[in-house]
Amino acid sequence: EVQLVESGGGLVQAGGSLRLSCAASGFSFDDYALGWFRQAPGKEREAVSCINTGDGNTYYADSVKGRFTISSDNAKNTVYLQMNSLKPEDTAVYYCAAGLTIATMFPRFPPYLFDYYGQGTQVTVSS
């Protein structure tokens, strides 16, 4: 059974930092891309960042470039999202997702190419 369990969300002031974690199990970690997506109330799910765990390449939405950093620990089957310089517009439920790595997934990593999603973790940034 595939499981993706996110943790690390919370409430932070603008300019602050949070680190999200996603523990994965039930699939071959190295064969999958792991991504972070977010969804704010009344908005569509948005791609935030993605890592190809096979080659280590990373991808970011323009809105988070230079502020967020994705990384993975393949030995622990865990992916992280370090979020710095947070803004109120970053407020959303953040989801970890896994998708079988295919060439068309990059560089935009659209949500529909990811087969599995976690339950989400709330990130709230106050102004």
Q: Is the pLDDT of residue 102 over 90?
A: no
75, 24 Cβ separation under 8 angstroms = no
The confidence score (pLDDT) of residue 105 equals 87
Over residues 98-117, mean pLDDT: 91
Provide φ and ψ at 103, rounded to 5°.
Answer: -60, -35
Integer Cα distance of 24 and 28 in angstroms: 9
Q: Is the pLDDT of residue 118 over 90?
A: yes
CB-neighbour burial class of residue 33 (10 A; exposed 0-12, middle 13-18, buried 19+): buried
The confidence score (pLDDT) of residue 54 equals 87
Over residues 92-96, mean pLDDT: 98
Integer Cα distance of 75 and 60 in angstroms: 23
Enumerate the β-bridge partners of residue 22.
6, 79
Integer Cα distance of 61 and 90 in angstroms: 12
For residue 60 the two structure tokens come to 């970011």
The confidence score (pLDDT) of residue 23 equals 97
The confidence score (pLDDT) of residue 72 equals 95
- With cut-offs at 50, 70 and 90, classify the pLDDT of residue 103: confident
* DSSP class per residue in 55-80: T--EEE-TTTTTTEEEEEETTTTEEE
pLDDT in tens, 4-56: 999 999 999 999 999 999 999 999 998 999 999 999 999 999 999 999 998 89
Integer Cα distance of 35 and 50 in angstroms: 4
pLDDT in tens, 63-90: 999 999 999 999 999 999 999 999 999 9
Over residues 97-123, mean pLDDT: 92
